[in-house]
Chains A and B, each alone.
Chain A
């Protein structure tokens, strides 16, 4: 079974530039999450999708961050414009909606804003 795929693995941008991350969840998983992990911290939820609808985006900085999940499968997370404090690892995860709901994570995208 293929895992959660993310790209790119690494990205370096200058502040005020824009950047986009892509995620392909495990086939059949209705729920998709984007987390931000700052160095030395645990992951923090940015947004949760159920199919292509948003379940929770209460911690997403909506003035600069946006995310979409078209057709309930792949998802993109965008930052525009980026700030120095956005430097972090962005993790995508997916889980089934019912039953065990075990969450599986991708390898993450390490973003450095200079």
Chain B
């Protein structure tokens, strides 16, 4: 059974710091991995999608890496800003050989607070 773990559960940093959020999963048979952002009381916003054949994806100040064999992904946020304060969720889509016929399995998230 696939399990997703995110460490740390919470993180507080001053503005301007570079930071890394960690995600690990127990089964390396994944189709893709997605990072989401969730603001309080809101839905999930997709940040980055990494296909199983890819090593990393970048969008602005965000960079996500994937090491499928070791079951790990990291989300790197450069030059953090107070507006980055939110919960970041990692989710994997298992690969059962039926292309994309599975749903995302989520970690519990990392709650980030960036102070000015």
The digit string for A72-114, where 1 denotes a CB below 8 A from any CB of B, is 0000000000000000000101011111111111111010000
A94 to chain B, nearest CB (A): 11
Are A43 and B44 in contact, CB atoms less than 8 angstroms apart? yes
Interface contact A106-B101, CB-CB below 8 Å = no
Task: Please report the C-alpha to C-alpha distance between residue A44 and residue B49 in the assembled complex, in whole angstroms.
Answer: 19
A107-B43 contact in complex given A50-B101, A97-B100, A101-B93, C-beta closer than 8 Å = yes
Min CB gap A29→B, angstroms: 12
- B106: A residues at CB distance < 8 A: 42-44
A110 to chain B: which residues have CB within 8 Å? 41
Counting contact residues on chain B (CB < 8 A from A), the size range is: 20 to 34
* Contact code string B22-35 (vs A, CB < 8 Å = 1, else 0): 00000000011010
The answer to whether A105 and B36 touch (CB under 8 A), given A40-B108, A41-B108, A100-B51, is yes
Q: How many residues of A contact B (CB 8 A)?
A: 31
**A98-B4 CB under 8 A given contacts A107-B43, A108-B43:** no
What is the CA–CA distance of A4 and B109 in the complex, to the nearest angstrom? 22
Residue of A41, A48, A104 near B103 (CB, 8 A) is: A48
Q: Is B99 an interface residue (CB 8 A)?
A: yes
- Residue from B51, B101, B108 in contact with A42 in the complex, judged by beta carbons closer than 8 Å: B108
**B residues in contact with A14, CB < 8 Å:** none
Shortest distance in angstroms between A32's beta carbon and chain B's nearest beta carbon? 10
Within 8 A of B (CB), among A39-82: 40-45, 48, 50, 55-56
Instruction: Evaluate contact between B44 and A33: CB separation under 8 angstroms.
Output: no
From A6, A41, A50, A101, name the one whose CB has the most chain B CB atoms within 10 angstroms.
Answer: A101
Chain A's closest residue to B44 (CB) is A105
Q: 6 new A-B pairs (CB below 8 Å) besides A97-B101, A100-B32?
A: A33-B103, A33-B104, A43-B44, A48-B102, A93-B44, A102-B46
Contact between chains at B104 and A103 (CB < 8 Å) = yes
Contacts of A44 in B (CB 8 A): 106
Whole-angstrom distance between the Cβ of B13 and the nearest chain A Cβ = 21
